[in-house]
Amino acid sequence: MPDLPPLARFGDRVATGLLDVTDDPAALDSTGFWAVGADFEGRLTCARFRDVRERPVPAPVPGAWRGPGPDDWTSSLDRAAYTAAVRRIREHIAAGEVYQANLCRVLSAPVPSDADVDALTALLARGNPAPYAGTIRLPGHGVEIATASPELFLRRAGRTVESGPIKGTGRTEADLLEKDYAENVMIVDLVRNDIGRVCATGTVTVPDLCAVEKHPGLVHLVSTVRGELRPGAGWPELLGAAFPPGSVTGAPKSSALRIIDALETAPRGPYCGGVGWVDADRGTGELAVGIRTFWIDRDARGGAVLRFGTGAGITWGSDPEGEWRETELKASRLLAVASGTYEVSEGT
Positions marked active-site: 151, 167
Neighbouring-strand partners of residue 211: 222
Distance CA 8, CA 55 (A): 12
Nearest to 23 by CA among 133, 142, 116, 118: 142
Which residues lie below 8 Å from residue 214, measured CB to CB, with a gap of 6+? none
Which residues lie below 8 Å from residue 130, measured CB to CB, with a gap of 6+? 124, 147, 148, 149, 150, 215, 216, 292
**What does residue 223 show for φ and ψ, rounded to 5 degrees?**
-120, 165
Which residues lie below 8 Å from residue 167, measured CB to CB, with a gap of 6+? 180, 183, 184, 186, 187, 221, 223, 247, 313
Neighbouring-strand partners of residue 109: 306
DSSP letter for each residue of 20-50: EEES-GGGGGSSSEEEEEE-TTS-EEEEEEE
Crossing angle for the helix pair 235-242 and 178-196, to the nearest 10 degrees: 140
Question: Residue 90 belongs to what H/E stretch?
Answer: helix 79-94
Whether the CA torsion 266, 69, 329, 244 is positive or negative: it is: positive
Q: Which amino acid is at 96?
A: G
Question: What's the DSSP call for residue 101?
Answer: E
Distance CA 287, CA 282 (A): 15
Q: Which amino acid is at 174?
A: A
Nearest to 276 by CA among 177, 164, 170: 164
